[in-house]
Amino acid sequence: MIKLIAMDMDGTLLNSQKKISPRTKEALLRAQEAGMILILASGRPTSGLTGFARELSMDRHHGLLVCYNGSKVVDCQSGEELFNQAMTVEEGKAVLEHMKKFDQVRPMIDRGEYMYVNNVYDQMIHLDGKEFNVIEYESRGGHYMLCEKKDLAAFVDLPLNKILTTADPEYLKAHYQEMMEPFKDRLSCMFTGRFYFEFTARGIDKAKALDAVLSPMGYSPKELIAFGDGQNDASMLAYAGRGVAMANGVEELKEKADEVTASNDEDGIGIVIERILEENIS
């Protein structure tokens, strides 16, 4: 029986307008009333998830936030930090120093209310033939104010949950192996979108974070259904008793998933949850 619902955010729970559709929202609210626990699992920081959690009333049902692609887990209702595995200060500095070799890569780190970048005016990447303000997009999504630090490596003096880098998709595809080469055996390095490549502590992914908190709570992976669309969702879908890929997801994920639902713009999550609720009643 399904007791937990884990969902990636962008491209999965959120539609193209970055909103939760009414049908999917209603299904998830009903699922919680039926005793299920919702889990938002994303590369986003905690601050980029809390608003959506409140919208889904997760703060009244002990919903969980799996943040920074799995390096931190927070209980929505109590605010308790259930899991946290950040990079060391030395690891963070090394990554940021190495990124200086790639002139088109823009690193981003967060601390408190601020997101720090090298140049607040260097904001645009090319995406699908158009210019996209990725710095504004990321700072607004995490509800951060922007701050400029010309040398991020020198600035860092605390452990980081994540270092996010961005560039034109073609540039990242051509250079990501060189970007990760010094750290491939020391850190988790992965694409979290066509224009995002990120670094977290070694072994970190969404599945590890889920296992770290769900097992002590007495839950089995068989009681978990997970939804995703990207490469960084693969571990979560494999861990879950039922892994569901979105129709808009990458082909590698759809091939490995237990099933494929409709797209994020077609209530893919809502359709599956409605079916589960009906099955539980009958």
CA distance 157 to 88: 9
Dump pLDDT digits (tens) for 118-174: 999 999 999 999 999 999 999 999 999 999 999 999 999 999 999 999 999 999 999
- Percentage of the chain lying above the pLDDT 70 cut: 99
The pTM (predicted TM-score) of the whole model is 0.93
Is 215's pLDDT higher than 80?
Answer: yes
CA distance 194 to 7: 19
Q: Averaged over 36-46, what is the pLDDT?
A: 96
Is 68's pLDDT higher than 90?
Answer: yes
Tokens describing residue 238: 């494999």
CA distance 194 to 173: 8
